[in-house]
């Protein structure tokens, strides 16, 4: 288990301000945040590149602050691969074994099984510069894994790749995590990536951890407007809430939304656009929220369509192109919106 | 068709003028080089090139410039690395001081070296130990080193700055000490910079005049490098020998410059 | 606590060594400068600084270096722009030729200028028209210009190369000719490069020795710039005057370098 | 009308190889293609920056090849704004008017109304470097529009902006096009952007125009594998087609798909993932294609979910998260897929 307590460090442009975080062995933690949030510096401080001003990092209960990077046994993979350009792929992967004076026979054996796992056996004699982005990243992952690190730190490992390669490598990372069981800390700015890979998630901004928890929990229950905005909820309403029977009744400009989360006073209420069901006729269901409104805008985002409907307040529902055509939706058309009280998340201002 | 050409000409007047200036200056430089090389007859040039004085000067120039270049490399590499990588208080002041020899006229540098190694207790102590710089070939090496190491240093510093420190971070997480990382990652990656810097330093060393004149003096067949030979022979009117020395230096410059540009050498100097 | 310090020390041995080299060399440079400035007594220095010879040298150095810097700017700006922007056949050859004076020892450049302007029909024609360079202050300007314009040219070229040509494209679609675009967009955007280049060119011009010695000779109170004054006074053993001239040059160098670095001047030279 | 015929130009890295294209007055043409396709060089050749080796460009029937850029009256907006950093916002916008010697009074008037249209009146005295990306791009658009160009060329104008600003500026561009009626040629690599803004679309690759036409037409009927891949169809099948009664019956590994487009022999068939309807029970409808299959993979892409179903051949359907939850889809579950023959596009190999 890695436990970080109240870590402070200031490198001018980037800083950490009291970061506390704990990661269980075998966890796949996703660290999300906008540019400049301090995500990379957190990884590099864990790896021992920077010495924190205060705070502590414990692994297995022992502080590692006085241990130099080379003895921490923490692997690092960067977005831009950072393969040594003057060494062949083979020598890049062998680098850590040589530094640790592993004898050649044992090294060859380890490399053989790892490169087979990562499908890069055919690249061993090439120079890194001649490889594609995806291939380079596989090699970089192999180079980090060969020394069997306790923790693998991944700094936006998929950001420099095209969509297709990104998807493949994402699956690859999941598989590696399943097979090796290595604890992974993976920095990204893509919410989708976090959702697809991790089991836990930490959201950072301005050098602080804003929210931390199970992925789906953060997704469904953002604890502040920043996180809600960040995870992509576009329906964020500000209103006054009253609690009755354990439900919140939130008045927003004359419209009332019901939420399953009790919270009184000034609140933000969020509904994910995909949670809103559109229909041509009223739907009879147990859903607490049902509104009638006119389509005010259709935002065509290619494969998904966002429909803005004015029901006193403007709400956005996400539907597929297929549904758009089937329901013959056009601006001005009257539609019914339905969503459950449990789909409405509420947090205090 | 003619109309089209006229329009293009009017539109590119600016291009013609600016390019014209470049070509004119190129022509002036080329003329100058050709004038020097062809100033004497080929026979006289060959004769002079074979004279004991020129042979001595060539040998001395090559020896001193090679030694000073090696010294520059040895000293500049750790310096450049430290200044490129580590933050510390007073760094910008140290940086300005290390750049000084670049801005200092070589003659002034020469006077300074003469004073430090000729009339301070430190210099006299060295001389007593047999390490003499004043009016000796060793002084030439010293002068070349002092005047040219900033070139090496600056080229290497910008080379190291151009290497992403994350390469080194990765190396360190893989089990290497900082020193081992330097030898196995940083230095191999800086190879091109070292070669480019060495060429520039060597080429400038072989042409060094002002500082060497002050420290080592101009003694025929003793501290007579190629530039000193030009100076001595121009003073006493032996034009043929001066031209021979100048021709050799031109050939060396052309070859160095060509090699440097072939290597794709671009290095921030200022 | 002590244990922690010891660990850190062991881990940063490499850092200490490399930084140590940098500090050592910085100390050597600083010592050298201080040694020159403090070599004579303050009174003797003040006396020498006020002597007619030094005053003459200061005036001549300032005049010639200012003129040669202005010439460098005027010639280098169109050249640098053309070489940064337009592709044409033979460009890389012209480029190497224009870089030549950078690799050429100043002494050789001086010999070349002496031959071109002293013994060719072209030079004699100019002399007949009253434009004399040999053994005149005009020769000093010529020498400074020839040896230092490559610095101006290279700094400006890299400045123009650093300006995205799309700024100029936009200007041209908005109704400007190429020339107007240059005056209203490219040149204003290159302002910092021009200033940085001018400082470097001027600072090097004022310290120019080898080429000026060949072209203009070393005549007391006639072609006696500050470096020539050092040379003359060192030769005849009048150390006080030489030190005074060197001190002025050191002050100029320090100020120029400081200004240049304050301006954030970094320009690719090689 | 702009008509480009057989344009060739070679700038080493980038080139055009026989580009022909015509744009009606008032069109909003989107030019799409991968990096290095020659999109920017096409715009710059139109603007007069480069002279083509051969071919012609006519505007209103007259060749503009011999006209210098300053007299072509074609505006240019780049991805990186290219605002003159040494001039204030006001002077940047005024730049074109000064160059064309418009008198100050008239200039002031024109600027006033344009900056109001673009909501940048409050920025006039600032330096470009102090503005946000979105603000800079507005200023760049104003600078180009102030001289009332016949055509406005936009080179990935939204690519450098964050998602939110991108959406706002996209709407802004649409509004400007509606109000001024200026012909626009807009280069992008984002299919969504093309779909949302343009009325026509040209797809480029390797310096050639691969397909050109109405946006929806290109979207629905890609004329080759490259375009199909590029517009994001992920269901691309290779098979043997037989035509009966005007319909293509395409055999793909034993499965048969029906398409409304007649084509015989070796073909590619494509179905957009959103066109596939998923259901728990068979659907009775006029749709020609109905398959039963088992869910083999669920690709969670955040707000949209792609479900891979094996029905002899693997097909991918796109659904919302909501549907995923409602239908309780999990790997191994049996589902029914339905899609219309007209949703299957076919092109010959």
CB A173 within 8 A of CB A138: no
D81 and D190 both lie in a single domain:
yes
**pLDDT attached to residue C268:** 46
**Average pLDDT score over residue span B123-136:** 90
Position with higher pLDDT, D159 vs A99: A99
CB contact under 8 A, C173 and D80: no
**pLDDT attached to residue B115:** 93
**Average pLDDT score over residue span D320-331:** 76
Q: Which of A225, A252, A268 is the last residue of a domain?
A: A225
Asked, for residue A349, whether it belongs to a domain, the answer is no
Query: Chain B partners of D68 at a C-beta cutoff of 8 Å?
Result: 7, 11
Q: Domains in chain A: how many in total?
A: 2
**pLDDT attached to residue A163:** 66
CB A310 within 8 A of CB A296: yes
Asked, for residue D55, whether it belongs to a domain, the answer is yes
**pLDDT attached to residue A221:** 78
- Closest to C140 (Cα-Cα) out of C234, C212, C246: C212
**pLDDT attached to residue D233:** 57
Per-residue pLDDT band for B10 (boundaries 50, 70, 90) equals: low
CB contact under 8 A, B108 and C177: no
Asked, for residue A346, whether it belongs to a domain, the answer is no
For D277-313, the pLDDT digits (tens) are: 888 888 777 778 889 998 887 776 655 678 888 888 8
In angstroms, the CA B224 to CA B57 distance is 5
Query: Chain D partners of A218 at a C-beta cutoff of 8 Å?
Result: none
In angstroms, the CA C91 to CA D135 distance is 40
CB contact under 8 A, C173 and D76: yes
**pLDDT attached to residue D285:** 72
For C200-237, the pLDDT digits (tens) are: 899 999 999 999 999 999 999 999 999 999 999 999 98
In angstroms, the CA D29 to CA D38 distance is 16
Helices and strands in chain A, H and E counts: 10, 20
In angstroms, the CA A172 to CA A183 distance is 15
Query: Chain A partners of B172 at a C-beta cutoff of 8 Å?
Result: 48-49, 68-70
A176 and A32 both lie in a single domain:
yes
For C96-111, the pLDDT digits (tens) are: 899 888 889 999 999 9
**pLDDT attached to residue B268:** 46
Q: Is pLDDT above 50 for C31? A: yes
Q: Is pLDDT above 60 for D270? A: yes
**pLDDT attached to residue C229:** 96
Per-residue pLDDT band for D245 (boundaries 50, 70, 90) equals: confident
Position with higher pLDDT, A128 vs A12: A128
**Average pLDDT score over residue span C137-157:** 93
D153 and D246 both lie in a single domain:
no
Q: Does C172 touch chain D (CB under 8 A)?
A: yes
For A52-110, the pLDDT digits (tens) are: 999 999 998 999 998 999 999 999 999 999 999 999 999 999 999 999 999 999 999 99
Per-residue pLDDT band for C270 (boundaries 50, 70, 90) equals: very low
CB contact under 8 A, A318 and D320: yes
Position with higher pLDDT, D97 vs D163: D97
Burial of B83: CB neighbours in 10 Å, binned 0-12, 13-18, 19+: buried
Per-residue pLDDT band for A35 (boundaries 50, 70, 90) equals: confident
For A288-323, the pLDDT digits (tens) are: 888 999 888 777 665 567 888 888 888 888 887 777
**Average pLDDT score over residue span B56-67:** 96
Alpha helices in chain D, H assignment, sequence order: 39-47, 69-72, 89-99, 104-117, 133-145, 163-180, 191-197, 215-220, 225-230, 321-326
Beta-carbon contacts of B169 under 8 Å, excluding residues fewer than 6 positions away, are A44, A47, A49, A69, A76, A82
Q: Which of residues 25-54 of D touch C (CB under 8 A)?
A: 44, 47-49
In angstroms, the CA D123 to CA C132 distance is 58
Query: Chain A partners of B188 at a C-beta cutoff of 8 Å?
Result: 84, 86
DSSP structure string for chain B: -HHHHHHHHHHTHHHHHHHHHHHHHHHHHHHHHHHHHTSS-HHHHHHHHTSHHHHHHHHHHHHHHHHHHHHHHHHHHHHHHHHHH---TTHHHHHHHHHHHHHS-HHHHHHHHHHHHHHSHHHHHHHHTT---TTSHHHHHHHHHHHHHHHHHHHHHHHHHTS-HHHHHHHHHTT--HHHHIIIIIHHHTHHHHHHHHHHHHHHHHH--HHHHHHH---TTTS--HHHHHHHHHHTT-HHHHHHHHHHHHHHHHHHHHHHHHTT---B--
Residue D212 forms beta bridges with which residues?
D202
D305 and D174 both lie in a single domain:
no
Which range among A175-179, A323-327, B31-35, B84-88 shows the weakest confidence by mean pLDDT? A323-327
CB A169 within 8 A of CB A161: yes
In angstroms, the CA B199 to CA C185 distance is 38
**Average pLDDT score over residue span C247-269:** 79
Q: Is pLDDT above 70 for A215? A: yes
In angstroms, the CA D17 to CA A200 distance is 51
Q: Is pLDDT above 70 for A40? A: yes
Q: Does D113 touch chain B (CB under 8 A)?
A: no
Q: Which of residues 64-93 of D touch C (CB under 8 A)?
A: 68-72, 74-76, 78, 80, 82, 84-86
**Average pLDDT score over residue span D180-195:** 84
Q: Is pLDDT above 60 for A49? A: yes
Q: What is the dihedral of CA D28, D29, D30, D36, to 10 degrees?
A: -140
- Closest to B205 (Cα-Cα) out of B60, B65, B62: B65
pTM: 0.78
B257: tokens are: 């410059």
**pLDDT attached to residue B40:** 87
CB contact under 8 A, D86 and C191: yes
Q: What is the dihedral of CA C30, C36, C40, C43, to 10 degrees?
A: -70
**pLDDT attached to residue C2:** 62
Q: Which of D193, D225, D257 is the last residue of a domain?
A: D225
CB D295 within 8 A of CB D315: no
The pLDDT > 70 percentage for chain D reads: 93
Q: Is pLDDT above 70 for B51? A: yes
Q: Which of A225, A256, A273 is the last residue of a domain?
A: A225
- Closest to A248 (Cα-Cα) out of A316, A315, A347, A336: A347
Asked, for residue D259, whether it belongs to a domain, the answer is yes
**pLDDT attached to residue B139:** 95
Q: Is pLDDT above 70 for C258? A: yes
D208 and D240 both lie in a single domain:
no
CB contact under 8 A, C29 and B266: no
Query: Chain B partners of D66 at a C-beta cutoff of 8 Å?
Result: 4, 7-8
**Average pLDDT score over residue span C58-73:** 96
Query: Chain A partners of C4 at a C-beta cutoff of 8 Å?
Result: 66
A24 and A165 both lie in a single domain:
yes
Q: Is pLDDT above 50 for C269? A: no
Residue D299's closest chain A neighbor by CA? A196
Residue span of the structural domain in which A242 resides: 234-341
Q: Does B166 touch chain A (CB under 8 A)?
A: yes
In angstroms, the CA A290 to CA A339 distance is 7
Query: Chain A partners of B167 at a C-beta cutoff of 8 Å?
Result: 82, 84
Closest approach of chain A CAs to the CA of B85, in angstroms? Answer: 13
Q: Is pLDDT above 70 for C9? A: no
Asked, for residue D323, whether it belongs to a domain, the answer is yes
For B239-249, the pLDDT digits (tens) are: 999 999 999 99
DSSP structure string for D65-103: TTS-HHHH-EEEEETT----TTS-HHHHHHHHHHHTT--
Which range among A177-186, A317-326, C71-80, D242-251 shows the weakest confidence by mean pLDDT? A317-326
Residue D141's closest chain C neighbor by CA? C170
- CATH number of the domain residue A161 falls in: 3.40.50.300
**pLDDT attached to residue C11:** 66
A253 and A321 both lie in a single domain:
yes
Asked, for residue A347, whether it belongs to a domain, the answer is no
**pLDDT attached to residue D301:** 60
Alpha helices in C162-238, H assignment, sequence order: 165-173, 178-181, 187-189, 191-207, 210-216, 226-235
For A243-275, the pLDDT digits (tens) are: 988 888 999 888 899 988 888 888 878 887 877
- CATH number of the domain residue D311 falls in: 2.40.50.100
Asked, for residue D199, whether it belongs to a domain, the answer is yes
Q: Is pLDDT above 80 for C62? A: yes
Q: Is pLDDT above 70 for A241? A: yes
D241 and D220 both lie in a single domain:
no
Q: Which of B164, B170, B189 sits opposite A76 (nearest CB)?
A: B170
Neighbours of B52 (CB within 10 A): 8
CB contact under 8 A, D70 and C189: no
In angstroms, the CA A71 to CA A47 distance is 10
Give me chain C's average pLDDT, please.
Answer: 90
Q: Which of residues 231-270 of A touch C (CB under 8 A)?
A: none
A37 and A164 both lie in a single domain:
yes
The pLDDT > 70 percentage for chain C reads: 93
Q: Is pLDDT above 50 for B269? A: no
Provide the 8-state DSSP code for C268: B
Order of all β-strands in the sheet with D289-301: D277-279, D334-339, D289-301, D304-311, D313-320
In angstroms, the CA C109 to CA D325 distance is 83
**Average pLDDT score over residue span C56-80:** 96
Per-residue pLDDT band for C56 (boundaries 50, 70, 90) equals: very high
Q: Does D129 touch chain B (CB under 8 A)?
A: no
D256: tokens are: 């048969």
For D41-74, the pLDDT digits (tens) are: 999 999 999 999 999 999 989 999 989 999 999 9
**pLDDT attached to residue D232:** 60
Closest approach of chain C CAs to the CA of B32, in angstroms? Answer: 5
In angstroms, the CA D186 to CA D154 distance is 5
CB contact under 8 A, A75 and B177: no
Q: Is pLDDT above 80 for D234? A: no
**pLDDT attached to residue C8:** 65
Closest approach of chain A CAs to the CA of D225, in angstroms? Answer: 16
For A141-163, the pLDDT digits (tens) are: 999 999 999 999 999 999 888 76
What 3-state DSSP class applies to D331?
Answer: coil
D221 and D238 both lie in a single domain:
no
Residue C165's closest chain D neighbor by CA? D82
Residue D65's closest chain B neighbor by CA? B4
Asked, for residue D348, whether it belongs to a domain, the answer is no
**Average pLDDT score over residue span A112-138:** 92
Alpha helices in chain A, H assignment, sequence order: 39-47, 69-72, 89-99, 104-117, 133-145, 163-180, 191-197, 215-220, 225-230, 321-326
D72 and D195 both lie in a single domain:
yes
Per-residue pLDDT band for A192 (boundaries 50, 70, 90) equals: low
D210 and D274 both lie in a single domain:
no
In angstroms, the CA D211 to CA D347 distance is 13
Residue B181's closest chain A neighbor by CA? A99
Q: For the CA atoms of chain A, what is the radius of gyration?
A: 24
Q: Is pLDDT above 70 for A234? A: no
Closest approach of chain C CAs to the CA of A66, in angstroms? Answer: 7
In angstroms, the CA D271 to CA D157 distance is 31
Q: Which of B164, B167, B176 sits opposite A70 (nearest CB)?
A: B176
**Average pLDDT score over residue span D165-171:** 82
In angstroms, the CA A259 to CA A276 distance is 14
**Average pLDDT score over residue span A321-341:** 81
**Average pLDDT score over residue span D156-163:** 83
């Amino acid at each position: 288990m890695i436990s970080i307590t109240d870590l402070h460090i200031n490198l001018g442009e980037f800083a950490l301000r009291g970061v506390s975080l704990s990661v269980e062995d075998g966890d796949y933690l996703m660290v999300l945040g906008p540019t400049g949030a301090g995500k990379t510096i957190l990884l590099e401080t864990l790896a021992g590149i920077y010495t924190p001003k205060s705070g502590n990092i414990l692994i297995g209960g022992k502080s590692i602050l006085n241990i130099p990077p080379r003895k921490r046994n923490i692997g690092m993979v960067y977005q831009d691969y950072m393969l040594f350009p003057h060494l062949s792929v083979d020598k890049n992967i062998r680098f850590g074994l040589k530094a640790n004076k592993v004898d050649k026979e044992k090294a060859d054996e380890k490399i053989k099984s790892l490169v087979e796992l990562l499908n890069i056996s055919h690249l061993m004699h090439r120079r890194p510069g001649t490889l594609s982005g995806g291939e380079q990243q596989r090699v970089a992952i192999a180079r980090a894994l060969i020394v069997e690190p306790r923790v693998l730190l991944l700094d936006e490992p998929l950001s420099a790749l095209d969509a297709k390669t990104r998807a493949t490598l994402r699956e690859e990372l999941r598989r590696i995590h399943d097979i090796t069981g290595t604890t992974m800390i993976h920095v990204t700015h893509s919410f989708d990536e976090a959702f697809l890979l991790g089991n836990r998630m930490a959201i950072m901004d301005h050098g602080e951890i804003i929210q931390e928890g199970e992925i789906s929990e953060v997704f469904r229950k953002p604890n502040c407007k920043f996180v809600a905005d960040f995870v992509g909820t576009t329906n964020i309403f500000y209103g006054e809430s009253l609690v009755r029977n354990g439900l919140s009744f939130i008045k927003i400009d004359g419209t009332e939304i019901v939420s399953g989360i009790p919270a009184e006073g000034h609140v933000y209420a969020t509904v994910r656009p995909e949670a809103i069901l559109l229909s041509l006729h009223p739907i009879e269901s147990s859903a607490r929220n049902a509104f009638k409104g006119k389509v005010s805008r259709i935002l065509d985002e290619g494969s998904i369509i966002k429909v803005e409907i004015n029901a006193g307040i403007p709400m956005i529902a996400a539907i597929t192109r297929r549904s758009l055509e089937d329901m013959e939706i056009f601006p001005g058309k009257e539609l019914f919106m339905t969503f459950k009280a449990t789909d409405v998340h509420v947090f205090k201002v | 068709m003619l109309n089209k050409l006229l329009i293009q000409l009017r539109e590119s007047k600016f291009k013609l003028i600016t390019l014209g200036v470049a070509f004119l200056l190129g022509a002036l430089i080329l003329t100058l080089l050709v004038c020097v090389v062809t100033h004497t007859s080929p026979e006289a040039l060959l004769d002079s090139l074979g004279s004991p004085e020129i042979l001595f000067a060539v040998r001395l120039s090559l020896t001193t410039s090679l030694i000073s270049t090696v010294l520059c490399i040895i000293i500049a590499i750790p310096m450049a690395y430290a200044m490129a990588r580590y933050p510390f208080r007073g760094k910008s002041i140290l940086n300005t001081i290390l750049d000084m020899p670049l801005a200092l006229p070589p003659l002034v540098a020469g006077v300074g070296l003469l004073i430090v190694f000729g009339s301070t207790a430190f210099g006299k102590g060295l001389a007593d130990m047999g390490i003499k710089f004043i009016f000796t070939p060793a002084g030439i090496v010293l002068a070349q080193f002092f005047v040219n190491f900033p070139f090496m240093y600056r080229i290497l510093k910008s080379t190291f700055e151009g290497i992403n420190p994350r390469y080194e971070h990765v190396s360190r997480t893989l089990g290497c000490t900082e020193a081992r990382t330097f030898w196995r990652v940083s230095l191999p990656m800086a190879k091109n910079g070292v070669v480019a810097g060495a060429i520039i330093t060597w080429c400038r060393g072989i042409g060094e005049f002002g500082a060497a004149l002050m420290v080592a003096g101009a003694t025929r067949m003793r501290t007579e490098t190629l530039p000193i030979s030009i100076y001595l022979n121009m003073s006493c009117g032996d034009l043929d020998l001066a031209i021979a020395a100048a021709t050799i230096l031109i050939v060396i410059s052309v070859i160095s410059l060509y090699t440097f540009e072939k290597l794709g050498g671009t290095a921030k100097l200022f």
